[in-house]
Structure 1
């Protein structure tokens, strides 16, 4: 097996027009720098001629490999499938729409190999996107920085570089591609850097992402934050809140009962029965919620021990 310097993973959906230019540009940069490389194009269920174009490109360029999904699974699935087959020392991910410049690859490669970063994320400091996209992006990135503790300006930039060990030891699923730096840090790869990269205006087609992705992004952030902390120990989360809720409810209930016993013993007037007081219902609710959370923790522990493979994707074809 030939040793490769760089593996470039390109997830794509309906990008038939941009693919020839992108691969040609990548090949030009790789040849000029003398890198041994591979380009892995992952067709995420395109409905245009993208797969036919990939096969045509591969006939002329043996450095190109392709994976085609039977249907659209999403960018995370495409990246995961690409990561499974990469062979290069450094893995570069980039989008297929020509908004990411292959000219950035040599500097990203150098930062991994010479500056010993585990992961380098691109930062599109100057963007050619409408304000409806840039403003939510800034809010999203600020929230992610706050919750993850990773000082990156652009978590969702498709142009990133990784040591091969990183992509072989992380699992990207659902829509978690936005949080690969967070996942990498959770696994143990903490040397994460950033590089300002060029953002080019889209030349072909239309964007595949709408405003709904930002709401999904915040939900995914909550999910990855929870999973990164409690994936192996869900009882620590559910059990803690369950026990606290149970103790609070039991304390309220004990107070009401002891108060009634004291008043009866001292022959003081009892204004209302225990079951007639609002505090009684709050106590019962807290006890029930606490019990349910505690049981949820046990069930989550059992599920965590028997989780099936989340990345079972049906591949239509390979070249």
Structure 2
């Protein structure tokens, strides 16, 4: 099979039929073998009914319905687990991603041998203040932190080799950072393609300004996981050891000074009356806690089990 098109969605009943017909037109024109995987992330409108009807009319349509809204990352994770195509395309269901871009993305993966190609919505139709400027700041921070030189991490239109999606774990809200996850997994050939951005035709956006705050927090998380996710002792153990040593030598210094003054007849105060003693003691306690945090992190990594991250209500054609 040439293509698996994974489409996460939430309450997009107005656009699904039009999007399906558009994709089928492109697939037929280019003679691709394909499957369309609609991942209904707990929609409360008629989205699932439309997907079910499309699956009857088109055997290439498959659907997964979550019991409730688990988030875009979980929807992508479910789609990636079931995708069978040589190339996996992800796109949003709101018609802002153009299916006409799919053949070129496919060509970049198959003939130019990219592991992953990310879309870049260079010209956007969103509000400049509400989305464009925060998005530029977010993408700049993501580039500097991750080392992945992409201009648009948030673009939902991406293409992957099958082996890439089978070797990454998309959890939490890490869908923005799939290229970073791919790089961390060893897939270095990451490309970018300028794609058309279309104004939303139906409904309203499901993301508010909080996505940028959450995005920056997730960026810190993925930076930490990429650097220390498999060796937390290297960070917490190092910081804990440094703080403990500083506190220990500060305490040792206080005691030595106290003894010298006693032996030489100088007046002195109680050790417990010295503010530096409490600073040193606090440093030793925090250092011990950090060291234990790293130690426990190492134990958890060696004993953790995969957790169920979403509950599926119904599947079609799998």
- TM superposition score normalised by structure 2: 0.97
Give the 3-state SS of the residue equivalent to 1:316 in structure 2: strand
The 10-residue stretch of structure 1 (30-39 or 224-233) with the greater mean CA deviation from structure 2: 224-233
The correspondence for 1:121, drawn from 118, 122, 132, is 118
Structure 2: 5+ residue runs without aligned partners?
A: none
- Give the C-alpha shift of residue 263 in structure 1: 2.1
The 10-residue stretch of structure 1 (214-223 or 197-206) with the greater mean CA deviation from structure 2: 214-223
The 10-residue stretch of structure 1 (306-315 or 144-153) with the greater mean CA deviation from structure 2: 306-315
The aligned counterpart of 2:56 is 59
The correspondence for 2:224, drawn from 223, 226, 230, is 226
Give the 3-state SS of the residue equivalent to 1:7 in structure 2: strand
Alignment of 1:152-163 (within 5 A): 152-163=150-161
Q: Distance in 1 between matches of 2:287 and 2:105?
A: 50
Contact 2:74 2:310 in 1 (8 A): yes
The aligned counterpart of 2:293 is 296
Deviations 1:139-178 (A, max 9, x none): 1111111110111011011000000000000000111101
- Give the C-alpha shift of residue 310 in structure 1: 3.4
- Give the C-alpha shift of residue 294 in structure 1: 0.9
- Give the C-alpha shift of residue 47 in structure 1: 0.1
The correspondence for 1:255, drawn from 249, 253, 256, is 253
The aligned counterpart of 1:208 is 206
Give the 3-state SS of the residue equivalent to 1:10 in structure 2: strand
Q: Distance in 1 between matches of 2:201 and 2:177?
A: 27
Alignment of 1:165-180 (within 5 A): 165-180=163-178
The correspondence for 2:305, drawn from 288, 304, 308, is 308
The aligned counterpart of 1:95 is 92
- Give the C-alpha shift of residue 30 in structure 1: 0.9
Contact 2:74 2:309 in 1 (8 A): no
RMSD: 1.0
Deviations 1:254-291 (A, max 9, x none): 11111112222333332x33221221111011000000
1:7 matches 2:4: yes
Give the 3-state SS of the residue equivalent to 1:206 in structure 2: coil
Q: Distance in 2 between matches of 1:187 and 1:228?
A: 10
- Give the C-alpha shift of residue 315 in structure 1: 0.7
1:182 matches 2:180: yes
The aligned counterpart of 1:282 is 279
Contact 1:77 1:311 in 2 (8 A): no
Q: Distance in 1 between matches of 2:99 and 2:291?
A: 52
- Give the C-alpha shift of residue 311 in structure 1: 4.1
The aligned counterpart of 1:269 is 267
Deviations 1:121-143 (A, max 9, x none): 11100111112111111111111
The correspondence for 1:242, drawn from 220, 240, 243, is 240
Q: Distance in 2 between matches of 1:126 and 1:278?
A: 59
Q: Distance in 1 between matches of 2:99 and 2:310?
A: 28
Q: Distance in 2 between matches of 1:311 and 1:16?
A: 28
- TM superposition score normalised by structure 1: 0.96
Q: Distance in 2 between matches of 1:244 and 1:268?
A: 33
The correspondence for 1:17, drawn from 2, 9, 14, is 14
Contact 2:119 2:152 in 1 (8 A): yes
The aligned counterpart of 2:43 is 46
Structure 1: 5+ residue runs without aligned partners?
A: none
